[in-house]
Structure formats: structure tokens, C-alpha cells
Structure 1
């Protein structure tokens, strides 16, 4: 397929690269010309604007930081896209933003899906992302082959906006687990127990998780190179809290996790990986 890709950041760049490896023709746009040049170096085509990336594309994928960027980009995709264009926004944004984009797209004859992802940079590189898709079932089936190039778990979870709601649930769980792993490390070290074998045992038991599998070693080394930045997780926790308010439910642990992530940002750790919640827990303990 001819695919336009808007947003070639930490996640978007490896995703676009995987589409190229699968044989698709990819035209990419990003505010960073360096990232566009990297895509060209892999065999893709560079675009100097969103409109240029969209022109002639059968599928357009966007992977952007937040709702404002999607709200700026979506009208251009909808206006300049070809008839019956399949528009897959894989950004993590507010559910109401995805619903509004879907309504605008439908009115213009564009098929829109919200398809946020989980798995971080490693998942994007390895094409093992978990992808939660909101939109019409028929449009999901049309997009399935493209999405399965990018992820290992691809699930249609409901109508427009549902993908974003599931992603909000994902982020509150991920943040909570990071916080608890951080507390486990602090407890083990303060008790004079070597945390490395301790976490090995936890990872092999009922407390095991994907986070323990891939992050426990770097957390113990205090290596927080960003796979997913605190700044972005802070944004996502705001979405989770807002979604809970809209649904009229009380999520007390989510509120605590949101404050922990907010503390990490306030302490200047916004550019670090979200596993840097360990730094917050350590600071609480002097």
C-alpha cells in the first residue's frame, strides 16, 4: 500500500521502518527534518508537509504527542486525503478528541480509527506492540493487515474513542506497576536484601509482569534512558483521570499514581523513562 506517516518520533520512526520492511511504500513527515531523512535512508520518501504526506496515500497513520497536535493534523488529512482514505491515528489522546475526529472524517467520506499502542520503543522496534482499536468493525478489518505489521496483539475494542479509553486503562496499570516495583526495590535495599535476586524471584511468580521482565535490570542500575518519557505518561494519567470523571467512577489508586507521576515531572525527571518513578520513591525516603 501507499502509506502516509505523520510523526516520526521515538515510536513513529521504527513503526514506519517496519512498514517499509513489509513492502509498503511509506511517505513520512515530521517537524524534524533529520527524522525525515532517516526514513529516506531506509527507502522511504520524505514529505515537507502533512498535505504532501497525505497526497496519494491509501492509508494515513499519525503518531503524535497529544490531542492538540492531532486536532491540528486531522483536518488536513481529512481535507486532502483521497476518497475512502483509511486514517489511523495511533497517538494517545483524549477519547473525546478521537470521537470528534471520527465524526468529521465520516462526514467527509474518510474512514477513521483510533489505534493507540502499548509496548514502548522496544515494542515499536520489534513490531510486538499491543494495539487497541476503536472505530467501525469494517474499517478495522480493512486496516488489520497494516496493524499486524506493527503489533503482535491487535484487537478491535469498540466504537470510535474506545481505543483511547482502553489505552487510558493501560497507562494507569503500567504506572501503578512501575510505582510498586520502585517501592519493592526501596524496601529490599533498605532491608539489606540484594534486590537483583529478589526481583528475579518476583518476576518468576504471581507478581511477574512485562515491566519486571524488561525493566528490573535497568531500574537497579538507575539507567533511565527514555523508552517512554515521564512527560508523556504525565499527560496520559491526566487522560485517565479525566476519563474516570467522565464515566462517573472513583479510581483512588489511579489518583495516587497520577500524583506520583506528577511528582516525577515536578522534580525535573520529565525527559527520563517512566521507570524513573524509582527516583521519586527514593526521594520520599531520603
Structure 2
């Protein structure tokens, strides 16, 4: 396929490179010249603008920071993109923005799906991402082979916006569980319990979860976790704060009594105001120690 890829940063760049490896003709654009040059070195054809990249595309993929960026990009390129082009937004944005973007594309005579990802930069590079897709059945079927070239799992979650809904619900679980695991380790420290002992018990008992067994917030028990590498992300605290903020917006809009989710959003928002923004989200344990 001829694919336009708009947004070639830490995630988009390696994702576009994997599409080139899979044999697709990828035309890319990013406002950052350095990102565009890195993508070009991996075989992406550098375009002069987003509209230039999308002009002859069968599929347009966007990986952008916010819903406003996605809506503005679609408003720019949809009028000049050939009829019935498929748009796939892989950004993590507000559910309402995702649905508005899908409507704007449909109004311009195109098709749209939201396909946010989980797996971070490592997953983007290794093509092991999980895609959570909101789309009509036919559009999901059309996009699935392309998404599979960038990921290990592609899940059809429902209609437009459902992918974003799945992403923020998943990350609300993840953020809250990382806080709980971190609080337990700090409590264990105060009680004289070694990190390894707590890990050995909880990882084989009812406290077992991804935040503990894969992304353990203390160095030692899981050698590959960011805690053993100076909390280098991984999944940065700023991104977790953003995702939990989106979840909190949805919680309030729909009247859900999600007290833990809302508190997790507050904790990560405060964490990301300082050094935590550029650290792995598991470094929240250091903030918990400092406040204890």
C-alpha cells in the first residue's frame, strides 16, 4: 500500500520504519526536521507537508500529541486527499476528540478509525505493539494487515472512539496499580522487608500484576525493568499523566464514581510537574518515599 505517516517522533518514527520493512511505500511528514531525517534514513519518503504526504495515499496514519493536533491535521489534509481514503489515528487522545475526528473525515468522503497503542518505544521499535481499534467492521478488516506489521496484537474494540476508550481504561488500571505496588514496597521498606522477599511473595500470590512482574518499581527483582536503568523510560511519567488526565475527563463526563482513578490522575499530574515528566512512570515510587 501507499501509506502516509504523519508524526515521526519517538513512536511514529520506528512504526513507519517497520511499515517500510513490511514492503509498504511510506511517505512521511513531521514538523521536526531531525525526526524527518531519521525516518528518511530508514526508507520513509520525506514529504514537504502533511498534505503532500497524504495526497496519493491509500491509508493515512497519524501519531500526534493531542486531539487538537489530530483535528487540525485532518482539517488540513482531508479536503485534498483522494476520495474514500482510510485514516487511522494512533495517537492517544480524548474519546470525544476521536469521535469528532471520525465525523470530520466521514463528512469529507473518507473512512476513519482510532487505533491507539500500548507498548512504548521498545514496542514500536520491535513491532510488538498492541493496537486498540475503534472502527466499522470493514474498515478494521482493511487496516488490520497494516497494523499487524507494526504490532503483535490488534484488538477490535467497537465503533469509532472505542479504541481510545479501551486505552484510557487500561492505563487507568496501570497507573493505579503502579501506585499501589509502589506504596507496598515503601511500606515494606519501613517494616524491614527486603524488596526481593516482597516480590517473591506478591508475584506468586494475589498481588501479582504487570506493574509488579514486568515494570517492577525497585531495582533488582526484575532486571529488565526501568528501575534497574535509572528509571529511563519506558513509558514516561508525562505520558501517564496525560493518559490519566484523559481518563479523569471521561470519568467526570460520565458520572463514574472512580475515586481511585481520579486520585491516581492527581498523583501523576503532580509527579509530572517535576523530574518525573522525563522518568519512567514507575519512578513515582521515589515521590512516594519523599512524601512518606
TM-score of the superposition, structure 1-length normalised?
Answer: 0.93
State the 1:208 CA deviation.
3.0
Show the 5 A alignment for 1:231-250.
Answer: 231-250=238-257
Q: After superposition, what is the alpha-carbon deviation per residue over 1:115-147, rounded to whole angstroms, capped at 9, x for unaligned?
A: 111111222122221211112111111111011
Superposed, 1:1-286 pairs within 5 Å as: 1-216=1-216, 217=222, 218=225, 220-221=227-228, 223-285=230-292
Give the Cα separation in 1 of the matches to 2:228 and 2:144: 39
Unmatched tracts of structure 1, length 5 or more? none
Partners of 2:286 and 2:226 lie apart in 1 by 10
**SS of the residue 1:270 aligns to:** helix
* Offset, 1:167: 1.0
CA distance in 2 between counterparts of 1:152 and 1:207 reads 27
CA contact (8 A) 1:219 1:278 kept: no
The Cα of 1:230 is off from its aligned counterpart by 1.7
SS at match of 2:192: coil
- The whole-number CA distance in structure 2 between the counterparts of 1:135 and 1:251 is 27
CA distance in 2, matches of 1:112, 1:10: 24
Q: In structure 1, what is the Cα distance between the partners aligned to 2:118 and 2:33? A: 26
Alpha-carbon distance, 1:194 to partner: 2.4
Aligned to 2:113, what secondary structure does the other structure show? strand
1:220 Cα offset (Å): 4.3
Tell me how far 1:180 sits from its aligned partner. 1.7
Shift, 1:178, TM fit = 1.5
Q: Distance in 2 between matches of 1:205 and 1:77?
A: 52
Kept after mapping to 2: 8 A contact 1:134/1:157: yes
Contact conserved, 1:6 with 1:63, CA < 8 A, in 2? yes
TM-score by length of 2: 0.91
Q: Deviations over 1:151-207 (max 9, x none)?
A: 222111111111111111011011012112211321232233321353244334443
CA contact (8 A) 2:227 2:282 kept: no
Q: CA deviation at 1:210?
A: 3.1
In the superposition, relative to structure 1, how do residues 195 and 219 fare at CA in structure 2: closer, same or farther (>3 Å)? farther
Superposed CA offset, 1:68-89 (max 9, x none):
2112211123122221111000
Superposition RMSD in Å: 1.7
**1:119–1:128 contact (8 Å) kept in structure 2:** yes
Distance in structure 2 (CA, Å) of the matches to 1:237 and 1:2: 35
On the 8 A contact 1:116/1:164 being kept in 2, the answer is: yes
Unpaired stretches in structure 2, ≥5 consecutive residues: 217-221
